[in-house]
C-alpha cells in the first residue's frame, strides 16, 4: 500500500498514483460507491461507466489524439489502470510560457479537439486541467464524461466549455488563446468548423440571457 498515493478525490472517482504497478508508475481511476443509490443499481452504473470510458479512450487513440495507454480494466471493481503521463498540466504552464509558446500549444489543442469531433467523440470536460504536456506531445485525459455523438449541439457545448474556461481561468490571455485554438480546430475539421463555431456563439448567448434573467 505504500506505493499508492491519492492524487485527487472527485465526485465520481478517486485518482490514485501507484508508484510500482508491475514495475512502473500507473494511474488507478476508481469510481466511488454512491450510498444514496440502491447497492445493485450503483454497482451496475459504475460497471457500465467504467466500460464506457475505456471504450471512449480506445476511440480517442484511433482518432490520433494522444491519451494514456490502458493497462487493465476491471468493471466489477469500477476501476481502470492506465499509463501515468509524466508532464505538466496545460493549466499550470500558461502563466509561465511566452505568448509564442502558448499560441503553439493552443493551436495543437485545437487540432486535437478537432480530431475528436471528426470522430464524433465528445470530451465532456474540455479544459486545460485535463490536458498534459509531455515533451512535444499534449495528452488529453479524463474521459469520464465523454460520449459518442455527431450532434452539432454537443460539439458546440464541448467548445463552449473551453471558451468559458479561458474566460474564467486565463482571462488575461483569453482572446489570443481562443484564436489559436479555433485556428487549430478549423485546420482539423475544415468547413465543418463553421457550423460548430456558430453553435458555440448561440450557446454562449443563451448563457448570457439566462444570467440576466
The residue among 31, 61, 83 that closes a domain is: 83
Q: What is the pLDDT of residue 95?
A: 87
Q: Tell me if residue 175 falls in helix, strand or coil.
A: helix
Q: Are 69 and 131 in a shared domain?
A: no
Q: Are 175 and 198 in a shared domain?
A: yes
Give the CA distances from residue 118 to residues 128, 160, 192, in Å, rounded to whole numbers and listed in that order: 20, 17, 9
Q: What is the pLDDT of residue 36?
A: 94
pLDDT at residue 104 is higher than 70: yes
The residue among 32, 51, 83 that closes a domain is: 83
Give the CA distances from residue 68 to residues 56, 61, 131, in Å, rounded to whole numbers and listed in that order: 12, 9, 11
Q: Are 23 and 105 in a shared domain?
A: no
Total domains present in the chain: 2
What CATH number should be reported for the domain holding residue 192?
1.10.510.10
Grade residue 208 by pLDDT with cuts at 50, 70 and 90. low
Q: Are 26 and 64 in a shared domain?
A: yes
Give the count of alpha carbons within 13 A of 198, CB side only.
6
Q: What is the pLDDT of residue 22?
A: 95
- Can you tell me the mean pLDDT for 34-57? 97
Q: Are 135 and 198 in a shared domain?
A: yes
CA–CA separation, 73 and 80 (whole Å): 5
- Can you tell me the mean pLDDT for 165-182? 92
pLDDT at residue 56 is higher than 80: yes
pLDDT at residue 168 is higher than 50: yes
Q: Are 130 and 184 in a shared domain?
A: yes
Instruction: Determine which one of 14, 18, 42, 125 is catalytic.
Output: 125
What CATH number should be reported for the domain holding residue 60?
3.30.200.20
Q: Are 107 and 196 in a shared domain?
A: yes
The residue among 59, 83, 107 that closes a domain is: 83
Q: Are 119 and 50 in a shared domain?
A: no
Q: Are 103 and 121 in a shared domain?
A: yes
Grade residue 207 by pLDDT with cuts at 50, 70 and 90. low
Domain residues for the domain of 25 are: 4-83
- Which long-range contacts link 204-211 to residues 24+ away (Cβ below 8 Å)? 204/160, 204/163, 207/160, 207/164
Grade residue 212 by pLDDT with cuts at 50, 70 and 90. very low
Is 125 among the catalytic positions?
yes
Amino acid at each position: 500500500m505504500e506505493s499508492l498515493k491519492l492524487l485527487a478525490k472527485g465526485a465520481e472517482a478517486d485518482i490514485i498514483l501507484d508508484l510500482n504497478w508491475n514495475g512502473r508508475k500507473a494511474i488507478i481511476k476508481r469510481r466511488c460507491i454512491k450510498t444514496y443509490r440502491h447497492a445493485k443499481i450503483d454497482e451496475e452504473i459504475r460497471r457500465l461507466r467504467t466500460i464506457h470510458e475505456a471504450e471512449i479512450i480506445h476511440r480517442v487513440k484511433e482518432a490520433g489524439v494522444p491519451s494514456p495507454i490502458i493497462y487493465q480494466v476491471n468493471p466489477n471493481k469500477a476501476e481502470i489502470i492506465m499509463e501515468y503521463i509524466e508532464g505538466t498540466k496545460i493549466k499550470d504552464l500558461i502563466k509561465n510560457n511566452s505568448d509564442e509558446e502558448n499560441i503553439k500549444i493552443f493551436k495543437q489543442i485545437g487540432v486535437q479537439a478537432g480530431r475528436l469531433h471528426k470522430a464524433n467523440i465528445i470530451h465532456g470536460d474540455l479544459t486545460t486541467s485535463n490536458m498534459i504536456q509531455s515533451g512535444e506531445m499534449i495528452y488529453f485525459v479524463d474521459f469520464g464524461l465523454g460520449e459518442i455523438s455527431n450532434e452539432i449541439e454537443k460539439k458546440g457545448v464541448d467548445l463552449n466549455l473551453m471558451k468559458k474556461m479561458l474566460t474564467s481561468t486565463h482571462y488575461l490571455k483569453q482572446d489570443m488563446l481562443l484564436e489559436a485554438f479555433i485556428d487549430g480546430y478549423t485546420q482539423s475539421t475544415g468547413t465543418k468548423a463553421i457550423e460548430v463555431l456558430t453553435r458555440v456563439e448561440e450557446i454562449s448567448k443563451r448563457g448570457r440571457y439566462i444570467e440576466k434573467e
